[in-house]
Chains A and B, each alone.
Chain A
């Protein structure tokens, strides 16, 4: 046995919720990776921080010693889930704040909607949405890539996959994004909470409707799922829906905005990516995921005394797994702080690792690639305006952007606008039952007039 002082001898004052952490991310990351790939921090009641690639890998895959459980009613061990510090209003964040077997049962219910084969079926729908979003701006020569594109497409698609009417997207979209970027002491917070309440009311209404009369989509799978032999209570299902929606909206938006911003600053690389997309698009996507890590990490609770990656952990201790910092480890990624669109061996941690791997990773990749390539085709000379770009003030939860205005040479509209497209896609979703799981419907969506 060694004493606490010895166990916690690698110390770092780590506070990822400050604007300084965002501003100094590269320096802090280099320092932690070099000196203390696993460190004890006294912040937020005391917690471990894992930054090294090998250490994060070993820890994240040790499901037998790590718990994601958020025991909001104190029925088990009182663990606090994946957010550090614990939020004021405690709410279980779906199966990301559960352990197996319940966690596994939820994933098994949703996998047939989110696998590569399932997601591929939606590509024609996404192409229609992207085309329509760009149509809204193409003649003006100006766009806000966040407001007019990257917020819209993931939101509409996620609702379609859930089985929620597509026209409700704006009700969900702003509520989700604003809840991530608005500070809790901001005068805006009352309005943001009100918008969130409206979204939850709509979500609950959809769930009730689908319980009474089935219609295809992930909500249908959830309300009929047997989780560990039981039908879950409504509140638990709302947590699962909030996870799917939160995971589906802000993250892909964040990835797309940062990538477009970088491509505007590196026009030669943009031209190369566009010209060589057949060979570069996949590796470039993984590289943007590595470098910008939209969801920068996850909290865990140590569920049994253990020694992992050379550190002795005690049951009940909290741990932050930093995907973002481990993605800059020079022992795995040569020149880690540079973007290399052709990077090989890119085993980044941006979708997490182990049993909790992001269940929406296939959606994120597909939607990102379709948005990016359509922008490259229709707005090839876009220039982002650094004065108008708004990054999230802190990157503790999502490394996101609130605005990214840009100008480009205007071009012609192709087909109809966004509202007409959404109305048309709703008919297609209903007639072709697109939101069925891949086990029921294997064919891709067909876009009809």
Chain B
């Protein structure tokens, strides 16, 4: 499973990094999110990635199986 943040949709609500700080980092200046890891989401973080998808108010996060 891969996780992706659409930079055109992200508005810096920060919920993803609150839920999964090991997957998402926030820009120092505007708080917009990017994915930290390259490649597949570690198995133990898959549930958190899914919760970040469900929690993003802008629906900016997606997972690719």
Contact = CB atoms under 8 A, between A and B. Distances in A.
Interface of A: 57, 61, 108, 111-112, 115-118, 282, 286, 344-349, 351, 353-355, 357, 361-362, 365, 438-439, 442
Contacts of A282: 18-19
Nearest to B54: A345
A134 B13 CA distance: 30
A347 B54 contact: yes
A108 B28 CA distance: 12
Chain B's interface: helix, strand, loop or mixed, by majority?
loop
Given A115-B12, A351-B13, A357-B12, A344 B30 contact: no
B27 interface: yes
A442 B29 CA distance: 11
Contacts of B31: 111, 115-117, 362
Question: What is the size category of the interface that chain B forms with chain A?
Answer: 20 to 34
25 contacts: A111-B29, A111-B31, A115-B26, A115-B28, A115-B29, A116-B14, A116-B17, A116-B26, A117-B29, A117-B31, A118-B28, A282-B18, A344-B54, A347-B56, A351-B13, A353-B11, A353-B57, A353-B58, A354-B58, A355-B11, A357-B13, A365-B14, A438-B28, A439-B28, A442-B28
Contacts of A357: 11-13
Contacts of B12: 115, 357
A362 B14 contact: yes
B14 A361 contact: yes
Residue among A108, A345, A348, A442 having the largest count of chain B Cβ atoms under 10 Å: A345
Given A344-B51, A351-B13, A353-B11, 18 more contacts: A111-B31, A112-B28, A115-B30, A115-B31, A117-B28, A117-B31, A286-B15, A344-B55, A347-B15, A347-B55, A348-B57, A353-B58, A354-B11, A355-B11, A357-B13, A361-B14, A438-B29, A439-B28
Nearest to A285: B18
Given A116-B14, A351-B13, A357-B13, A346 B55 contact: yes
A348 B13 CA distance: 11
A322 to B, nearest CB: 15
A349 B17 CA distance: 18
Interface of B: 11-15, 17-19, 26-31, 51, 54-59
Contacts of B28: 112, 115, 117-118, 438-439, 442
A53 to B, nearest CB: 10
B55 A111 contact: no
B28 to A, nearest CB: 4
Contacts of B29: 111-112, 115, 117, 438-439
Nearest to A114: B31
Contacts of A438: 28-29
The 7 closest A-B pairs by CB, nearest first: A345-B54, A117-B28, A357-B11, A115-B31, A111-B30, A347-B57, A116-B31
Contact of B57 (A115, A344, A349): A349
B25 to A, nearest CB: 10
A49 B28 CA distance: 36
Contacts of A111: 29-31
A349 B57 CA distance: 7
Nearest to A354: B11
A105 B39 CA distance: 35
A111 B14 CA distance: 14
B12 to A, nearest CB: 7
